[in-house]
């Protein structure tokens, strides 16, 4: 088994020692550095090449944000943000950290128990396997330059900007006959199928999803003639802050579904903490406390499967960046019932696990970058289509 090297940047020696004790309880994880000053993080990463960096969110405004930016420019590394449950996080700083390249945020209990310790070790192992992307934000005067490849690592790290230049891509045509799906082939042109009326867009995402979701939703007008349901893998307690984040970065009203409710066109609905989000019937979304699916609750597959039953061919399924394969089976079910299915392309994902599983299985009609997904949704759900999102 490969030895995983981890660095810890925590606000106190007590928290740092606690994390070391948890992670080194099993022999495959070794702590290579403990630091209090995040300004030292870049030199630690360059000198000791950790597979992952655990960074306390309490250090973000004390140099942590700059450290993330520099690390992701110089030597991309999987970064996990850890938040103390007893301290209200600075949500703005956390979102900046995620946008600059941190992969995920996680609460640390005041008194971590054995269950949390096992969970944290598993999470660190998973994040250490992520193919981390290089950001050019931290390079002074580097705008327009092509980033070089990072140093060789046992785990491959791909050197490319996080998002493509959408202007360099060919936008989808306004009208054209949709070609028959061909398994394993990308589709760069999107067209509305004759007579198809989209009533719901279902989107699933995991690691790297929050900012990509904001980028996709931002161009959509409030007049868009469909409702949008989203499952984003998040730790418990983050659903409402995520809804507030999207509300502040998009034109559409966003709410968490904590009870069954009729959906309205032009509105965005998020899964509640530790609950699946399902289409209980056409026009109604509801929380569901059933068992985890693919290890997740909420699960993207659970949403997509329910949408395939309730909406048949009057839906769109979109699978975005994330680790694992949650959503692939559900997207295939939607496609088999006539829905339009989209997977994010490999070039623009933070973690190309979930989209790759959908592309390789043939579940996705189209492989698109985030700007193209926005364009496709506006095309397929524009105001010329009847509004069918409400309950019947």
- Provide the residue ranges of all domains of the chain, joining segments of one domain with +: 4-128, 166-380
Q: What percent of the chain has pLDDT over 90?
A: 53
What does the buried/exposed string (b/e) look like for 143-171 if buried means 16 or more CB atoms within 10 Å of the residue's CB?
A: eeeebeebeeeeeebeeeebbbeeeeeee
Among candidate residues 386, 391, 377, 382, the one with its CA nearest the CA of residue 203: 377
Q: Of the ranges 127-136, 147-156, 164-173, 246-255, which is most confident?
A: 246-255
Collapsed DSSP state (helix, strand, coil) of residue 126: helix
Q: Tally the C-alpha atoms within 13 A of residue 81's C-alpha that lie toward its C-beta.
A: 30
Tokens of 324: 């694992």
pLDDT at 307: 98
Confidence of residue 166 (pLDDT cuts 50, 70, 90): very low
Please say if the pLDDT value at position 392 is more than 50.
Answer: no
Superfamily of the domain at 4-128: Response regulator (3.40.50.2300)
Mean pLDDT (whole number) for 258-285 = 96
- What's the rounded Cα separation, in Å, for the pair 277 and 163? 28
Mean pLDDT (whole number) for 284-295 = 94
Q: Of the ranges 27-36, 107-116, 140-149, which is most confident?
A: 27-36
Phi–psi pair at 208, nearest 5 degrees:
90, 0
- Least confident interval from 51-65, 92-106, 270-284: 92-106
Catalytic site includes residue 361? no
Beta-sheet strands, E only, within the chain: 4-9, 29-35, 52-56, 78-84, 104-108, 200-205, 227-232, 254-257, 261-262, 268-271, 276-281, 284-288, 315-319, 340-344, 366-368
Mean pLDDT (whole number) for 347-364 = 90
Rounded to two decimals, what is the model's pTM? 0.66
Please say if the pLDDT value at position 314 is more than 50.
Answer: yes
Sequence-separated contacts (24+) of 144-147 with Cβ below 8 Å = 147/73
The catalytic residue among 206, 306, 308, 374 is 206
Per residue in 174-208, pLDDT tens?
A: 323 334 444 444 445 676 677 779 999 999 999 88
The catalytic residue among 273, 301, 326, 352 is 326
Among candidate residues 56, 45, 52, the one with its CA nearest the CA of residue 23: 52
Catalytic site includes residue 233? yes
Q: Which residue has the higher pLDDT, 196 or 134?
A: 196
pLDDT at 134: 66
Q: How would you classify the pairing of strands 227-232 and 315-319?
A: unpaired
pLDDT at 271: 97
Q: Which residue has the higher pLDDT, 75 or 301?
A: 301
The neighbouring-strand residues paired with 126 are none
pLDDT at 388: 40
pLDDT at 286: 97
Per residue in 89-132, pLDDT tens?
A: 678 888 889 888 888 888 888 788 888 899 899 889 988 887 77
Q: What is the CA radius of gyration of the chain?
A: 21
Among candidate residues 205, 224, 181, 189, the one with its CA nearest the CA of residue 338: 181
DSSP class of residue 19 equals H
CATH fold of 166-380 reads: Rossmann fold (3.40.50)
Cα angle: 31, vertex 295, 103; to 5 degrees: 45
Please say if the pLDDT value at position 37 is more than 80.
Answer: yes
Domains 4-128 and 166-380 share a fold: yes
Helix axes 300-311, 328-336, angle to 10 degrees: 10
Per residue in 212-263, pLDDT tens?
A: 999 999 999 999 999 999 999 987 778 888 898 899 889 999 999 999 999 9
Catalytic site includes residue 17? no
Confidence of residue 135 (pLDDT cuts 50, 70, 90): low
- What's the rounded Cα separation, in Å, for the pair 73 and 308? 41
The catalytic residue among 16, 56, 215, 233 is 233
């Amino acid at each position: 088994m490969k030895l995983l090297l981890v660095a810890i940047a925590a606000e106190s020696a007590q928290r740092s020692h606690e994390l070391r004790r948890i992670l080194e309880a099993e022999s495959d994880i070794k702590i290579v550095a403990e630091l209090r000053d995040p300004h030292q993080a870049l030199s630690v990463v360059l000198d000791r090449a950790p597979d992952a960096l655990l960074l306390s969110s309490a250090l973000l405004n004390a140099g942590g944000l700059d450290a993330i930016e520099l690390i992701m420019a110089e030597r991309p590394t999987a970064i996990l943000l850890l938040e103390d449950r007893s301290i209200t996080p600075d949500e703005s700083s956390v979102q900046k950290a995620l946008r600059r390249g941190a992969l995920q945020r996680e609460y640390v209990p005041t008194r971590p128990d054995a269950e949390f310790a096992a969970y944290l070790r598993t999470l660190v192992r998973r994040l250490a396997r992520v193919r981390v992307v290089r950001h050019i934000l931290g390079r002074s005067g580097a705008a327009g330059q092509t980033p070089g490849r990072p140093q060789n690592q046992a785990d491959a790290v791909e050197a490319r900007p996080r998002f493509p230049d959408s202007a360099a891509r060919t936008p989808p045509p306004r009208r054209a006959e949709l070609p028959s799906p061909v398994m394993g082939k990308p589709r760069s042109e999107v067209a509305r199928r004759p007579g198809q009326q989209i009533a719901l867009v279902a989107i699933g995402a995991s690691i790297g999803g929050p900012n990509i979701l904001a980028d996709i939703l931002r161009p959509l007008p409030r007049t868009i003639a469909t409702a949008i349901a989203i499952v984003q893998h998040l730790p418990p307690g983050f659903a409402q802050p995520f809804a507030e984040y999207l509300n502040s970065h998009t034109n559409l009203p966003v709410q968490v579904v904590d009870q069954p409710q009729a959906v309205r066109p032009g509105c965005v609905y998020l899964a509640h903490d530790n609950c699946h989000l399902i289409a209980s019937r056409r026009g109604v979304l509801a929380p569901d406390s059933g068992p985890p699916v693919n290890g997740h609750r909420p699960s993207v597959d659970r949403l997509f499967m329910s949408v395939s039953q309730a909406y048949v061919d009057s839906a769109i399924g979109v699978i975005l960046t994330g680790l694992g394969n949650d959503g692939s089976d559900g997207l295939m079910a939607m496609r088999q019932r006539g829905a339009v299915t989209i997977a994010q392309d490999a070039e623009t994902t933070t973690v190309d696990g979930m989209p790759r599983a959908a592309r390789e299985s043939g579940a996705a009609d189209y492989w698109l970058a985030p700007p193209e997904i926005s364009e496709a949704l506006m095309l397929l759900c524009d105001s010329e289509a009847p509004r069918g999102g409400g309950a019947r």
